Structure 1
Amino acid sequence: MNVLEIVESYGGGVRTQVDQINQYLGGKVKLTTVVSSKRGAKNIPSDYLIIDEMSNPMNPLKLIRSLLKLRKIIRKNKIEVIHFHSTLAGVFAVLLRSLFCVKIPFVYTPHAYFSEGLEPGTKKKICLFVERLIIKTAQVVVHVSRDEEGYAYENGLINGVKKSRVVLNGVRDPKYIREYKDNGVLNILNVARATHQKNPRLFIEIAKKMIESMPEIQFKFIFAGDGKLLESSRKMVEDNGLSDSIDFCGYSSNVSDLYKQADVFLSTSLYEGLPYSVVEAMSFKLPLILSDVVGHQSLIDKNGFLFDINQSASISMKKRVMNLKNSKRYIEFSMASYRKFQKDFDVAEKMNEIFNIYKGVNKEL
């Protein structure tokens, strides 16, 4: 079976899943992967094809050029299934189907619907309309969490159960042995791109409030990841005189060491599909503090807590953080994270589920 992966934004969780598909399914299907090198993409594998014009859809000439290149790849490689990742790639699915009459099966993974992060209004209505077109074009929509699938049903993106599949994001088990340590410092980590969706400003605001309200605890906050808000976030930290306590370290090639050094994982995202970074944190037995948004809600199961992004300075936040300084409670949260990881997020199992989806849609058309 010849499968084409199309990725416009090759970064974050999208990159992780596409690389996993190539790693785990490369021996089962013949894969061709097309990405754009724009939008901060780094270290693209040499066997991936690059079409940078995909990142300029508002330029009619580049849009047509990218569509023609994709059609050529589809014909040359005798593609039987196409998997589109994220919203913009989904738009290419609609255009390939409507303008070039590409009839082969389409699989679509939104990796968090773009409309999730929009306030009610005209812009969100337009975005939902586009997302409905994408979903109508696809044979199967792969949601990476029950939360994400629930959002799709609630907003009328999907009607009926046949089209939707839930395949949770998975990672390898690092087999890390975590022990409670009270060395006087509470290390709080986030691994994310410094973008609007990941909300680095709130990360800084929470850090500032914790440092000010709990002087008896020495905090160290680490935000690992690059992105267009990286420099402005660093400036905000400096302007608030917090450089000794908050480090926006940028991209890390050895993120495993950061998980090992951390005590708690904090995510301030405005919306998610199902973040790989949180799953990785669970695999390293970290307690979780997550914003109460789609994509996070199903990850909390006696292993941490959710917080309202509009009430991040609440007394309950302080009490819960103080709770993590209790060795018994910390170990309970830590082991609950790992149990949930083992139960739900085995990467080999998740890749096999995607393989079965490819086989299923290939038989249907």
Structure 2
Amino acid sequence: MAFHLIRTMADSNSISVSAIIFNNGRLADELKNAGVDVTVFEESRYSFPVLVYKVFRKLRSKKIDLIHSHRQKENILALIVSVLLRNTGLVSTLHGMPENPSTKLTIHSIIRKLNFFLLSRFFSCTVAVSNDIRDILINRGFSKRKIITIHNGIPLPSFDTDSKKDTSRSFTIGTAGRLVPVKDFGLFIDIAFFLRNHQNIHFLLAGDGPLEQDLRCKVSELGLNNFSFSGKIDDMNLFYKQIDIFMNTSIHEGIPMTILEAMSRGIPVIAPCVGGLPEIIENGVDGFLIQKRNLMHYAGKSMLLSNDLAVYQIMAQAAQEKIKKRFSVSIMTQSYIGVYLEISGCSKSIIR
């Protein structure tokens, strides 16, 4: 999301954009290749106070009107630098709520609470990627005036997409993401086990993470021949070309890019009715929402789409149209630019 937003804003005549990144990796390389002004400070090399000093020195040399930060550490750093720069405008985007927050007093819980406190008291605006997250923040004491919802957006595919894949191969249900507890890929495996006797249906899981070995062991113990792991995928286009349905089994979600990307390619989505997902999917029109993450309902909708080509094609086309009209990167970018200009009094220099 950050790459698409920064690149699109850099192409805009409305504002000038610079990016400061704390890891010299793929995001930094892609932004540099896109012609964006990028500065990298490797956080592994510097203490937090030194990072603050380096960012302050960098921004002091620029006429910055506003700082947009992401994540807890960056929010705290941005606030300190803003004060040193004599109260530059501050915006932060909240992409999701903490996963399984502990009630115990730990360093992580203290930082999390401090982050919410600083966002609510000192930031000009907090952007929630879904109305669900916005409502949670309001319930936590955030002012309605300082929160806005801007849905994630994606570049629309520049190639033609078929509303139905190659029928000469098996019908493939895919999912992708970090292999962590909140994604509950164990449920995805359970659905594959339930449909194991339907030989034309195959399941594909893309991604890596701390639960990878546990998930592989579960598939092996269940003896599933209809299930494959692809590991981490750098080119998601290749993944989407292999699947006919995208399935999400998460316990909670904001506005996941994978669902937007799948729908933009005419791939129907089956997902739980949680978090921000009902803001993307209209149940029965451009995808299916599963109440209470019910395994039987997941399986039933999978069978419906695999057996009824007419229903599949209608839903695939509706999904593509939804993304074009409501979740394009241009719509997202214009919304952010509007926020920036309002906060900074129509000035034109933004640092992210």
Aligned-pair distance for 1:119?
5.5
Amino acid of the structure 1 residue aligned with 2:148: R
2:337 is the counterpart of 1:336: no
Task: Report if aligned partners of 2:5, 2:332 keep a CA contact under 8 Å in 1.
Answer: no
Amino acid of the structure 1 residue aligned with 2:313: I
1:146 matched to which residue of 2? 131
Q: Give the secondary-structure state (helix, strand or coil) at the position aligned to 1:260.
A: helix
Structure number with the bigger relative contact order (C-alpha 8 A, sep ≥ 6) is: 2
| CA pair 67-129 structure 1, distance change in 2 beyond 3 A | closer
Query: Within 1, Cα distance between the matches of 2:61 and 2:49?
Result: 18
Amino acid of the structure 2 residue aligned with 1:51: F
RMSD between aligned residues: 2.9
- Residue 247 of structure 2, aligned match among 263, 266, 281: 266
Alignment of structure 1 residues 181-220 onto 2, 5 Å:
182-183=167-168, 185-211=170-196, 215-220=197-202
- Residue 2 of structure 2, aligned match among 18, 34, 40: 18
Query: Within 1, Cα distance between the matches of 2:86 and 2:309?
Result: 59
Q: Give the secondary-structure state (helix, strand or coil) at the position aligned to 2:195.
A: helix
Alignment of structure 1 residues 43-122 onto 2, 5 Å:
44-45=28-29, 46=32, 48-53=38-43, 62-96=47-81, 100=84, 102-114=86-98, 117-118=99-100, 121-122=103-104
Q: Give the secondary-structure state (helix, strand or coil) at the position aligned to 2:118.
A: helix
For residues 213-240 of structure 1, give each alpha carbon's deviation from its aligned partner in whole angstroms, at most 9, with x where no partner exists.
xx13433222223334344433443444
Task: Report if aligned partners of 1:206, 1:312 keep a CA contact under 8 Å in 2.
Answer: no
* Alignment size in residue pairs: 331
| CA pair 157-84 structure 1, distance change in 2 beyond 3 A | farther
1:245 matched to which residue of 2? 226
Aligned-pair distance for 1:103?
0.8
For residues 187-226 of structure 1, give each alpha carbon's deviation from its aligned partner in whole angstroms, at most 9, with x where no partner exists.
1112322233433333333333332xxx134332222233
For residues 325-356 of structure 1, give each alpha carbon's deviation from its aligned partner in whole angstroms, at most 9, with x where no partner exists.
22222223222212221221121122122122
Query: Within 2, Cα distance between the matches of 1:235 and 1:34?
Result: 41
2:350 matched to which residue of 1? none
Task: Report if aligned partners of 1:132, 1:157 keep a CA contact under 8 Å in 2.
Answer: no
TM-score (normalizing by structure 2): 0.82
- Residue 32 of structure 1, aligned match among 18, 32, 37: 18
For residues 270-317 of structure 1, give each alpha carbon's deviation from its aligned partner in whole angstroms, at most 9, with x where no partner exists.
3222111111111011111112321212122122222356x543x333
Q: Give the secondary-structure state (helix, strand or coil) at the position aligned to 1:363.
A: coil
Aligned-pair distance for 1:95?
4.2
Task: Report if aligned partners of 1:87, 1:110 keep a CA contact under 8 Å in 2.
Answer: no
Query: Within 2, Cα distance between the matches of 1:236 and 1:188?
Result: 18
| CA pair 350-321 structure 1, distance change in 2 beyond 3 A | same
2:300 is the counterpart of 1:319: yes
Amino acid of the structure 2 residue aligned with 1:79: I
Task: Report if aligned partners of 1:289, 1:304 keep a CA contact under 8 Å in 2.
Answer: yes
2:204 matched to which residue of 1? 222
Query: Within 1, Cα distance between the matches of 2:97 and 2:86?
Result: 24
2:278 is the counterpart of 1:278: no
Query: Within 1, Cα distance between the matches of 2:346 and 2:334?
Result: 19
Query: Within 2, Cα distance between the matches of 1:190 and 1:165?
Result: 30
TM-score (normalizing by structure 1): 0.79
Q: Which moved more, 1:262-271 or 1:117-126?
A: 117-126
| CA pair 69-172 structure 1, distance change in 2 beyond 3 A | same
Amino acid of the structure 2 residue aligned with 1:147: D
Q: Give the secondary-structure state (helix, strand or coil) at the position aligned to 1:48.
A: strand
Identical counterparts, % of pairs: 23
2:287 is the counterpart of 1:304: yes
Q: Which moved more, 1:272-281 or 1:167-176?
A: 167-176
1:165 matched to which residue of 2? 148
Task: Report if aligned partners of 1:265, 1:287 keep a CA contact under 8 Å in 2.
Answer: yes
Amino acid of the structure 2 residue aligned with 1:50: V
Q: Give the secondary-structure state (helix, strand or coil) at the position aligned to 1:355.
A: helix
Aligned-pair distance for 1:181?
5.6
| CA pair 113-237 structure 1, distance change in 2 beyond 3 A | same
1:14 matched to which residue of 2? none
Task: Report if aligned partners of 2:266, 2:316 keep a CA contact under 8 Å in 1.
Answer: yes
| CA pair 180-32 structure 1, distance change in 2 beyond 3 A | closer
Ranges in structure 2 where 5+ consecutive residues have no aligned partner: 348-352
Amino acid of the structure 2 residue aligned with 1:305: F
2:350 is the counterpart of 1:350: no
Amino acid of the structure 2 residue aligned with 1:306: L
Amino acid of the structure 2 residue aligned with 1:44: A
Task: Report if aligned partners of 2:52, 2:77 keep a CA contact under 8 Å in 1.
Answer: yes
Query: Within 2, Cα distance between the matches of 1:228 and 1:283?
Result: 29
Amino acid of the structure 2 residue aligned with 1:37: N
Q: Which moved more, 1:192-201 or 1:261-270?
A: 192-201
Query: Within 1, Cα distance between the matches of 2:109 and 2:2?
Result: 29
Task: Report if aligned partners of 1:87, 1:113 keep a CA contact under 8 Å in 2.
Answer: no
Task: Report if aligned partners of 2:101, 2:109 keep a CA contact under 8 Å in 1.
Answer: no
Task: Report if aligned partners of 2:3, 2:27 keep a CA contact under 8 Å in 1.
Answer: no
| CA pair 232-216 structure 1, distance change in 2 beyond 3 A | closer
Query: Within 2, Cα distance between the matches of 1:143 and 1:226?
Result: 27
For residues 108-135 of structure 1, give each alpha carbon's deviation from its aligned partner in whole angstroms, at most 9, with x where no partner exists.
1011122xx3358456985456313223
Ranges in structure 1 where 5+ consecutive residues have no aligned partner: 1-16
Amino acid of the structure 1 residue aligned with 2:28: I
Query: Within 2, Cα distance between the matches of 1:204 and 1:42?
Result: 31
